[in-house]
Amino acid sequence: MLCIATTTRLRYAFHKFLRFFSHCPKQNAKILSSFNGIDDAVTLFNHLINMQPLPSVIQFNTIIGSVVKMKHCPVAISLLKQMVFKGVTPSIFTLSIWINCYCHLGEMGFAFSVLGIVLKRGYQPNNITLTTVMKGLCINGEVQKAMDFHDNVAAQGMLLDEVCYGTLINGLCKIGRSIDAFQLLQEMEGQVVKPNIVIYNMIIDSFCKDELTCKARDLYLKIVDMGIDPDILTYTSLIRGFCRTGQWGEVKQLMCEMVNKNINPNVYTFNVLIDAFCRKGKMIEAQGMFNLMVKRGQQPDIVTFNTLISGHCLHGNVLEARKLFDTVFERGILPDVWSYTILIIGYCKCKRIDEAVSLFNEMRCKNMVLDIVLYSSLIDGLCKSGRISYAWELFSTINNDGPPPNVITYNILIDAFCKIQDIDMGIELFKLMCGKGLTPTVLTYNILINGYCKSKRIREAMNLLSVMQSKNLAPDSITYNSLFDGLCKSGRISDAWELFKVMHVGGPPVDVATYNVLLDAFCKAQDVA
């Protein structure tokens, strides 16, 4: 039973709702202030649905629209069904809300069913409705269906607005179809509705991500000639693209153009540049860009620091990385899980396991959410430093209570046990992994095949090769080289030669390591001919 205070509040909200519509029926958005949550909205809906005569559909639309804005689509659909059942005729706006709900839930079949109702009732779908359907298809990974829908709509003479085109272009760009997005842009340029800078930015950014920097640059020059002013997003996308392809001259020119146009690089622009320098090992330049960023009044964020810490760790300078990590605290910024993970990986690579474990324990003391990437990195470091018992203890912890181990985690441990010649433990882990529903990779099989060969258990190694092939996993040169080495060291040179012929016909390209293994074996067997 509702308490008196709650009942009073709901009555007040309901009367406020009725007064609002009696005076301001067109300002529906303001009604949101009457709701303190989903319960209020549903209560008000129930009051309306039981009134005689029934209120206008506008009132119902407002309540249900607010429910959708609260991200309660299943509730909104339930209310819509009740409304129709009670005899309220849905408007085009009502049906658009309904379509939107189904799209958000990934129920595109139902969304199209409601669209069918729109057409049967003689309503003309507006751009909001069309955009909702296209966006729903794109969100649910059906971009081609969205394109087909666009073609059908265009064939019927319906004019799409920039939001419709923008939705489609964005969907195409997100799946790497930048050329198709560009063709749609050209179609749009021939329509009454013209592209804006937001749409041009989408395609420029997509071209840059696909390393089609020449096309991105051409489109940039085109919009400048058209009198459209590039913004900070335009320049940042281009700078990132040219950084990826190592076109530093273009980067410098773009930075100069930005300054000349009084467009100040923001934190994201500087982060892109710092990341590019770090990836190339140009840490002095990265630090210089960091200093320039601060000088120009842009405050570095955690992404900036993580990028620099990662750069130093990548190039073995873990001491400098630790200094930066401590600087994060001094600036009042809280390091995130990735900040710790980067430094732990750096410590592990330098075999400074005690520091890595210390950071790991610090994270646990702070009740940070530890992910499997972090656990796998530390397990790898422990294994490579010979502390397999500690690695196993950590693995057992997450296996019982933690983020579930993934294939990478299992591969690390299987490899560690194989390297200490405990192939049987490796196989037990392999079985455990498969029992958990994880799919072994080529690397998993390579580790085990190499382990069997090192233990001179060639039959089991050859059996695993057959298992790989039965699962449509193509053995690579590492697989074959392990088998060649094992066969030759077991004196089975003729078998190695037969396997080589199989590899030569339908396997991976033969590399230098393969020839070295076979030639060494033939020489030792005095079978050079």
Contacts of residue 83, Cβ cutoff 8 Å, sequence gap at least 6: 49, 57, 60, 64, 90, 94
392 in Cβ contact with 399 (< 8 Å):
no
- Look at residue 27 and tell me whether its pLDDT is greater than 80: no
Confidence of residue 122 (pLDDT cuts 50, 70, 90): confident
Q: How far apart are CA 205 and CA 232, in angstroms?
A: 12
| Per-residue confidence (pLDDT) for residue 457, from 0 to 100 | 93
Q: Which residue matches tokens 């930075």? A: 255
Q: Give one word for 37, left, alpha or beta, with left for phi > 0 and alpha for psi -120 to 50.
A: left
Q: Other C-beta atoms within 10 Å of 186: how many?
A: 9
Q: How much is the CA Rg of the chain, to the nearest whole Å?
A: 31
pLDDT tens digits for range 82-107: 989 988 888 888 999 999 899 889 89
60 in Cβ contact with 48 (< 8 Å):
yes
Report which of 149, 115, 117 is spatially closest to residue 129, judged by C-alpha positions: 115
307 in Cβ contact with 274 (< 8 Å):
yes
217 in Cβ contact with 250 (< 8 Å):
yes
Q: How far apart are CA 62 and CA 41, in angstroms?
A: 10
Q: Choose between 12 and 495: higher pLDDT.
A: 495
Q: Which residue matches tokens 């209120």? A: 55
What burial letters (b/e) apply to 321-338, b meaning 16+ CB within 10 Å?
A: bbebbeebeeeebebeeb
CA distances from 276 to 208, 254, 284, 301, 345 (A): 14, 15, 12, 17, 20
Q: Measure the N-to-C terminal CA separation of the chain; round to a whole number of Å.
A: 95
- What type of residue sits at position 271? N
- Look at residue 2 and tell me whether its pLDDT is greater than 60: no
pLDDT tens digits for range 300-331: 999 999 999 999 999 889 999 999 999 998 88
What is the secondary structure of 387-416 as a DSSP string? -HHHHHHHHHHHHHSSSPP-HHHHHHHHHH
The two tokens of residue 149 are 């829908």
Contacts of residue 4, Cβ cutoff 8 Å, sequence gap at least 6: none
Q: Choose between 145 and 19: higher pLDDT.
A: 145
- Look at residue 52 and tell me whether its pLDDT is greater than 80: yes
| Per-residue confidence (pLDDT) for residue 34, from 0 to 100 | 53
- DSSP H helices, 121-266, are 127-139, 143-155, 162-174, 178-189, 197-209, 213-225, 232-244, 248-260
| Per-residue confidence (pLDDT) for residue 347, from 0 to 100 | 95
28 in Cβ contact with 63 (< 8 Å):
no
Confidence of residue 152 (pLDDT cuts 50, 70, 90): confident
Confidence of residue 4 (pLDDT cuts 50, 70, 90): very low
- Look at residue 173 and tell me whether its pLDDT is greater than 90: yes
User: pLDDT above 70 covers what percent of the chain?
Assistant: 92
- Look at residue 529 and tell me whether its pLDDT is greater than 50: no
Q: Which residue matches tokens 């029992």? A: 435
- Look at residue 198 and tell me whether its pLDDT is greater than 90: yes
- Look at residue 408 and tell me whether its pLDDT is greater than 80: yes
34 in Cβ contact with 44 (< 8 Å):
yes
Question: At CA 254, angle to CA 251 and CA 259, rounded to 5?
Answer: 130
The two tokens of residue 441 are 């990779």
- Look at residue 35 and tell me whether its pLDDT is greater than 80: no
What domains are defined for the chain?
Answer: 441-529 (1.25.40.10)
Can you tell me the mean pLDDT for 290-294?
93
pLDDT tens digits for range 237-273: 999 999 999 899 999 999 999 988 999 999 999 999 9
Can you tell me the mean pLDDT for 413-437?
94
User: pLDDT above 90 covers what percent of the chain?
Assistant: 54
Can you tell me the mean pLDDT for 489-495?
88
Confidence of residue 21 (pLDDT cuts 50, 70, 90): very low
The conformation of residue 30, written as its DSSP 8-state character, comes to G
| Per-residue confidence (pLDDT) for residue 17, from 0 to 100 | 46
Report which of 138, 196, 200 is spatially closest to residue 162, judged by C-alpha positions: 196
Can you tell me the mean pLDDT for 113-121?
89
| Per-residue confidence (pLDDT) for residue 525, from 0 to 100 | 66
Supply the pTM of this predicted model: 0.75
Can you tell me the mean pLDDT for 439-464?
94
| Per-residue confidence (pLDDT) for residue 526, from 0 to 100 | 61
Confidence of residue 10 (pLDDT cuts 50, 70, 90): very low
395 in Cβ contact with 402 (< 8 Å):
no
- Look at residue 25 and tell me whether its pLDDT is greater than 80: no
310 in Cβ contact with 342 (< 8 Å):
yes
Question: How far is C-alpha 53 from the geometric centre of its chain's CA atoms?
Answer: 51
- Look at residue 425 and tell me whether its pLDDT is greater than 90: yes
| Per-residue confidence (pLDDT) for residue 322, from 0 to 100 | 95
197 in Cβ contact with 229 (< 8 Å):
yes
Q: Choose between 290 and 127: higher pLDDT.
A: 290
- Look at residue 357 and tell me whether its pLDDT is greater than 70: yes
Question: At CA 239, angle to CA 237 and CA 243, rounded to 5?
Answer: 120
pLDDT tens digits for range 214-236: 999 999 999 999 999 999 999 99
Mean pLDDT rounded to a whole number for the chain: 87
Question: How far is C-alpha 364 from the geometric centre of its chain's CA atoms?
Answer: 26
What is the secondary structure of 32-59 as a DSSP string? GGG-SSHHHHHHHHHHHHT-SSPPPHHH
Q: What size, in residues, is the chain? A: 529
Lowest mean pLDDT among 21-30, 203-212, 480-489, 496-505: 21-30
Lowest mean pLDDT among 20-29, 374-383, 447-456: 20-29
59 in Cβ contact with 27 (< 8 Å):
no
162 in Cβ contact with 126 (< 8 Å):
no
The conformation of residue 491, written as its DSSP 8-state character, comes to T
Confidence of residue 171 (pLDDT cuts 50, 70, 90): very high
450 in Cβ contact with 421 (< 8 Å):
no
| Per-residue confidence (pLDDT) for residue 346, from 0 to 100 | 95
- Look at residue 20 and tell me whether its pLDDT is greater than 70: no
